[in-house]
């Protein structure tokens, strides 16, 4: 089974690129300390909290981060609020979640890429999903990229499903080779299910809206050399297929090779089957009203 990369912990003696870090939080007292520790290379760390009722803000301040509060409406709006309202020291910004950690290899790559005065609007970065200490490399479809490192004057975000998508104002979008780690199950499987129950509602609403507009997936993108375009096209196509939950399971286990991740990979494949089933059920119920 693949082993995850080492994570940064303070003290830190590696490269220190000029990048501001923004960490989105809500009741993350168990995660925020480790996230901030992995930011030991940055001289400008901010926590954007959504109104936590636990010790998240207290722990963040104690760890040296600046804490800001804004009521959460959506991921896209929250990320744009950070760009517009936080006095970020640097033009380049990295958005991290509380259950994610920087690796030395990723920070070194960021330092090298930005040293020459990068003209890109932003960079896609992959994550290493961790379940019970195991890197779910195959079942998670690694590398699956998200917009995380970007120039604050060249990038905006818009809502899409339960998450967001990037809209570059100017400049092309690059891609980094090294990843951060993602402890997606740090609060346990029950919390993961509750969270993804909410996500499935948003995903179903996105699908219903797309279907009502008569939108169709761009099938040509399925054969694109751009992995991000292929993944988005496949997701759009899957939303229209029958038995999507079991198709996702078969795809994850046999085509992606979840068994190569061991028992945890197969467990993750089963969780994805449940998630897809919830999306499909909510789409059916919404369209039958």
Alpha carbon of 30 to those of 34, 94, 96, 205, 215: distances in Å? 8, 21, 15, 31, 42
Query: What whole-number distance in Å separates Cα of residue 59 and Cα of residue 221?
Result: 45
Residue 23's SS3 state is strand
What pLDDT is stored for residue 250 in this prediction? Answer: 94
Please say whether the beta carbons of 35 and 101 come within 8 A: yes
Q: What is the mean pLDDT of residues 17-30?
A: 98
The pLDDT mean for the chain works out to 91
**Structure confidence at residue 212 (pLDDT):** 83
Helix (H/G/I), strand (E/B), else coil: 196: helix
Task: Convert the pLDDT of each residue in 179-224 to its tens digit.
Answer: 999 999 999 999 999 999 999 999 889 888 887 877 665 555 555 6
What are the structural domains, with CATH classification, of the chain?
Answer: 19-182 (3.90.550.10), 189-287 (no CATH)
Candidate from 18-27, 152-161, 232-241 with smallest mean pLDDT: 232-241
Q: Is the dihedral of CA 276, 162, 226, 183 positive or negative?
A: negative
Which percentage of the chain shows pLDDT scores above 70?
A: 90
Residue closest to 46 by CA, chosen among 81, 71, 75, 8: 81
Tokens describing residue 174: 């690059």
Per-residue DSSP letters for 205-267? HHHHHHHHTT----GGGGG-S-HHHHHHHHHHHHTTSTTHHHHHHHIIIIIS-GGGGTHHHHH
Q: Find residue 125's DSSP bridge partners.
A: 146
**Separation CA 87–CA 21 (nearest Å):** 12
- From 39-43, 149-153, 222-226, the region with the lowest mean pLDDT: 222-226
Q: What is the pLDDT of residue 233?
A: 59
> At 93, is the pLDDT very low, low, confident or very high (cuts 50, 70, 90)?
very high
The answer to whether residue 272 scores a pLDDT higher than 70 is: yes
User: Any residues with CB less than 8 A from the CB of 206 and at least 6 apart, and which?
Assistant: 160, 161
Q: How confident is the model over 107-134, as a mean pLDDT? A: 96
User: What percent of the chain has a predicted confidence (pLDDT) above 90?
Assistant: 77
Q: What is the mean pLDDT of residues 31-49?
A: 98
Which range, 190-194, 216-220, 234-238, 242-246, is most confident?
190-194
Mean pLDDT, rounded, for 73-89: 97
């Amino acid at each position: 089974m693949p082993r995850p990369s080492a994570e940064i912990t303070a003290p830190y003696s590696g490269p220190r690129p000029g990048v501001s870090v923004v960490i989105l939080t809500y009741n993350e007292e168990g995660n925020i300390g480790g996230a901030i520790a992995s930011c030991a290379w940055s001289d400008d760390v901010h926590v954007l909290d959504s109104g936590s009722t636990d010790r998240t803000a207290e722990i963040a301040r104690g760890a040296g981060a600046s804490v800001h509060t804004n009521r959460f409406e959506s991921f896209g709006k929250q990320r744009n609020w950070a760009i517009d309202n936080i006095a970020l020291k640097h033009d380049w910004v990295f958005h991290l979640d509380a259950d994610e950690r920087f690796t030395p290899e990723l920070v070194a790559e960021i330092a090298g890429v930005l040293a020459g005065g990068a003209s890109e609007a932003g960079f896609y970065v992959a994550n290493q999903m961790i379940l019970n200490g195991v890197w779910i490399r195959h079942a998670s479809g690694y590398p699956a990229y998200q917009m995380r490192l970007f120039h604050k004057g060249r990038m905006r975000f818009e809502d899409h499903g339960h998450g967001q998508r990037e809209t570059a104002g100017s400049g092309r979008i690059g891609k980094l080779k090294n990843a951060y780690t993602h402890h997606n199950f740090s609060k346990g499987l029950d919390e993961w299910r509750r969270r993804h129950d909410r996500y499935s509602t948003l995903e179903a609403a996105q699908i219903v809206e797309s279907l009502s507009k008569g939108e169709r997936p761009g099938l040509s993108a399925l054969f694109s050399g751009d992995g991000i375009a292929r993944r988005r096209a496949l997701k759009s196509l899957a939303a229209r297929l029958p038995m999507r939950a079991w198709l996702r399971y078969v795809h994850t286990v046999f085509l992606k090779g979840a068994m190569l991740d061991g028992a945890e990979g197969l467990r993750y494949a089963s969780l994805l089957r449940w998630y897809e089933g919830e999306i499909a059920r909510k789409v059916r119920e919404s369209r039958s009203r």
